[in-house]
Amino acid sequence: MAIAPGARGTARPATTHPHPATAGHPTVLTGATVVLPTGTVENGRLTVDGTRIAATPPENAEVIDVTGHYVVPGFVDLHNHGGGGASFTSGSVDDILKGIHTHRLHGTTTLVASTVTGDLDVLARRAGLLSELAEQGEIAGIHFEGPFISPCRKGAHSEELLRDPDPAEVRKLIDAARGRAAMVTLATELPGGLDSVRLLAERGVIAAIGHTDASYEQTVQAIDAGATVATHLFNAMPPLGHRAPGPITALLEDDRITVELINDGTHLHPAALRLAFRHAGADRVAFITDAMDAAGFGDGRYWLGPLEVEVTDGVARLVADGTIAGSTLTLDRAFKRAVTVDGLSVEDAVTALSATPARLLGMDDTIGSLEPGKSADLLLLDSAFDLKGVMRRGEWVVGPQLG
């Protein structure tokens, strides 16, 4: 596996156990607890025919008994910088594919590739490369996180490369993505911020408020201008105050906003996560990884854009000052934590990991839930909510591990 220059890490190759059935052969999963949009069905049955979920099984379907397991939709990650030792910002095509595959092994069947702050021309070239992978169906789009963010809330972004969100420069990036730009994170209080939000809304690109030092009032203005997402709510923005409620309050109280949450136990206290869920509801929460290269790979030294990162015990921090630098999270871990630590229902966790992000991407007609006609993207989880199988477009990425 490739790793960023100068990085070190312990590779942890994922082991898969493909089911012997021929790829694309009609399959019926029986005996499972199936999580559907209409509710959870005990002792349920789900049929896959080709790349799609089918209403009724064909006569030649193979039956697999998955009693004692949950069947849930494949996870959808809106915000992901890499994994498996590879960076979506700087890796080769082969590296990027390895990173995508790493997250598929952990249940993410749909992924938006995120970049980090860099030189505008470099980001434009990267957008061109990533757009080709989007056209091939490997990723669902491109998310530009930076360089249009606040130096006051830069997090693990290079301050020297930050810039105000000039609409002409924002347009340059989304044009370079050739129709595959999914989202741009902006500090909307900066000069050009509101005009850039309006531009993105007109072009059908999600405008996300993040890495921001905005006030409550400024955030309301950005929402009214067309912003629809809060980039990793609570992180890289002013804290909620009773006299200065700041962006968190504005983002939570407005039904037009979907809030991203990083549920790794490091970025958020469980009480903060529960606060967001109780106020916004699962239909407005999208769990993300914000993963960097080390996800699914191991501790060591890595690069996040031009900044060096040390990963220790699975927590990524900048070598220079200890700032948290993305995560090593995978969405299967986010799901398990949601139901076993945070006390969320399985149904709410599924909504936040599948249905809500699919809807936000405008892809809920094909992914995000288990319904006839939709893509056969599904996961098997055991009673402890550990991942035991991954199917993407009707083919097992990780075959059923039922023993």
CB-based burial, 381-398: b 16+ in 10 Å, e otherwise: beeebebbbbbbbbbbbb
Q: How far is CA 107 from the centre of its chain?
A: 11
Please tell me which residue in 49, 95, 213, 290 is annotated as part of the active site: 290
- Measure the CA–CA gap between 118 and 195, rounded to whole angstroms: 22
Comparing C-alpha atoms, which of 386, 392, 390, 389 is closest to residue 400? 389
> Is 365 annotated as catalytic?
no
Distances (CA, A) of 137 to 107, 200, 286: 17, 23, 21
The set of residues, in sequence order, having a beta carbon less than 8 Å from that of 239 and lying 6+ positions away, is: 246, 248
The runs of H, that is alpha helices, within 185-253 are 193-203, 216-225, 246-253
Angle between helices 193-203 and 167-176 (to 10 degrees): 30
Place of tokens 């009673």: 383
Determine the Cα–Cα distance for residues 374 and 20; give it in Å rounded to an integer. Answer: 24
Q: Just list the catalytic residues.
A: 290
